[in-house]
Amino acid sequence: MRQIATADVATKQVKIFKNEIPSQNCQRAIWSPDGAHILFSIWADNDWHLAMVNADGTGFRYVKKTERKHYSYWSTSWAPDGRSIYAQDLDKLYQFTTEGTELKNWSLKALFPKGSMNSGSTMAVSPDGKTLLLEVDMDDEEANLPDWDGPPPSLWMLELASQKTMRLTPKGLLAWKGCWADNGKILFVSQTATEKQPSICEMALTEKNRKVILKNANHPSVSQASDGFSR
């Protein structure tokens, strides 16, 4: 059982949406930029779909139902204006309105000829809405970590206007869970073959040199662009 819940930081009150959502298997909830809505994945009819509720749990609705069996939408991320979302189905990258209307799509294989995305890959839109930060598995490279299962993850940038991609992290560095600190700086988790544990790192896009912020840590999250972060 996995349910959506909210916690008030000031009062420490927790509200679990038990009756508001017609499924007891939901995951990967993310707030809209204005904090008014929650987007999440919901299990129904033997597949994963995208749904949304208001911040208080009211107004449940499906945003996008899976159209092909087992081609669910993953890596969801809000556009900064809150009017659209980005997601991928392992074959394509999409931009949808919050009503589920497709605005654009891109072939992942065309964007990343030697890479791919999985259901756990992350994606984040820059604060100005111009760039996507994507976690891409490098299928032709080796992770070189004893306990790592699968190809090494790397971080890439996609300029939405030009549709140009650029790799941000070098070969030999496993990098995942990227998020934006501001338009020119990112936070992410990384680990090399000589490091026993992952660390949260910071990188300026103009320099591309990682700076370790917190050792033995994972899952960075930015509370507000250019205003700090928490894990």
Q: What is the pLDDT of residue 17?
A: 96
Give the mean model confidence (pLDDT) for residues 176-194: 95
Q: Please determine, for residue 229, whether its predicted confidence score (pLDDT) is greater than 50.
A: no
pLDDT at 231 over 50: no
pLDDT for position 221: 87
Mean pLDDT confidence for 219-227: 70
- Residue 68's pLDDT is 81
- Its pTM stands at 0.92
Phi-psi region of 89 (alpha: psi -120 to 50; beta: other; left: phi over 0): alpha
Q: Cα separation of 71 and 65, whole Å?
A: 10
Rounded mean pLDDT, 91-119? 97
Q: Contacts for 193-198 with beta carbons within 8 Å, 24 or more apart? A: 193/144, 193/145, 198/174
pLDDT range class, residue 225, cuts 50, 70, 90: low
pLDDT in tens, 49-68: 999 999 999 999 999 999 88
Q: Residue 12, CB half-sphere, CA atoms under 13 Å: how many?
A: 0
- For the stretch 3-34, pLDDT in tens is 999 999 999 999 999 999 999 999 999 999 99
Quick check: 139 pLDDT over 60? Answer: yes
Q: How many CB atoms lie within 10 A of CB 194?
A: 8
Q: What is the CA radius of gyration of the chain?
A: 18
Domain locations in the chain as residue ranges: 1-78, 112-231
Residue 226 pLDDT exceeds 70: no
